[in-house]
Amino acid sequence: MAASNKIVSNKGQAGSAPPFDHNNPLTTRGIRLPAENAGLSFQVHECGAFVHKSDDWDYRQVVSPFWRLYCDAQPGCAVIYRGQRVELGPTRAVIIPEQVPFDCASRKGIPHFWIHFSIDYALGSTADAPLILDLDVPMQGVFSTLRHAMDVPAPRRGALAHLCAGALHLCIAQISEHIIPRPATPKLRTLLDFIDHVLDSGISNEILAARASLSPGAFLRWFRRETGVTPAAYVMGRRVREACRRLAFTDATIDDIASAVGFADRHHFSRVFKQRMGCGPAQFRKEPGASPVSRGRIA
């Protein structure tokens, strides 16, 4: 049967509930969701499945500028946080927020699964430790489907992206109280988007104040009230975070990355990067998941 654009209406039905306007997504029967729910979005960087050939996932003080999710098909691997060992396996997902240090341990023959992702606008995140989710049978099935989707010779990357996003949404729904973002007004959201698009250029307070239609003094007070940090600290944090992403996921040279995120030269970039991440960019690229603990926090 061919599809049609037939307009359905229940207006005028005797004894029925009040008529619906089928052009309006809001009804009187559903639960109206907050407009800001779109602010908690994420970017999936990578999903992976790997069978350990040895104890090749034994690192100490792993810290990254992105979030990680682990859910293994079999027990045997573990993450360790402040001396507490958290076993991985098919009935448990472990989410590790950005900048949270942990140790990890593996065992030969164990199939390991991960998703690396970043949460946008999580300026008010309260997650400062690994988050552990006990998975019910349907959720176990979601991750089983993901792992099987990666077993085919040439996985469909578009389908994998949707599957990963779906799994993350289901997990985040269970732990949303830990990652509630600070409410971002449309004005702030527009400004943060602007910053992300001009990281390679000079971003002065005067330029940002003009974009926000505020005087420089009023802008400084407003931005700090909205984000909890100064504009300079936020911009530097975004530059370092974007540099981390490019070091981990692209083949661009360190000089090109330094220029692309707004540093005058590699020397300045390396000095700031080491201050914030605890190691230089070359070391981070060599072992992006095993850099020393950063004393600074990337916004």
Architecture of domain 186-286: Orthogonal Bundle (1.10)
CA distance 243 to 291: 14
Q: Is 36 helix (H, G, I), strand (E, B) or coil?
A: helix
Predicted TM-score (pTM) of the model is 0.67
CA distance 192 to 94: 29
For residue 180, the model assigns a pLDDT of: 64
Nearest to 68 by CA among 26, 16, 104: 104
| Amino acid at residue number 262 | G
Torsion of CA 206, 207, 210, 211, to 10 degrees: -150
Could you give the residue range(s) of every CATH 2.60.120.280 domain in the chain? 38-178
Could you give the residue range(s) of every CATH 1.10.10.60 domain in the chain? 186-286
Enter the DSSP assignment of 262: T
Query: Quick one: angle between helices 266-277 and 231-249, nearest 10?
Result: 100
Q: Where are the alpha helices (DSSP H) in the chain?
A: 137-149, 157-174, 186-197, 205-211, 216-227, 231-249, 254-260, 266-277, 281-286
Enter the DSSP assignment of 227: H
Write the CATH number of the domain with boundaries 38-178.
2.60.120.280
CA distance 62 to 186: 35
Report the Cα 145 to chain-centroid distance in Å: 22
| Amino acid at residue number 40 | L
* pLDDT tens profile 33-70: 655 554 557 778 888 888 888 778 888 888 887 889 99
| Amino acid at residue number 27 | T
Edge-to-edge strands, sheet with 42-51: 42-51, 111-119, 67-70, 92-96, 131-134
> With contact defined as beta carbons under 8 Å apart, do 189 and 121 qualify?
yes
Which residues of the chain, if any, have pLDDT below 70?
A: 1-20, 33-40, 120-126, 180-183, 287-299
> With contact defined as beta carbons under 8 Å apart, do 181 and 124 qualify?
yes
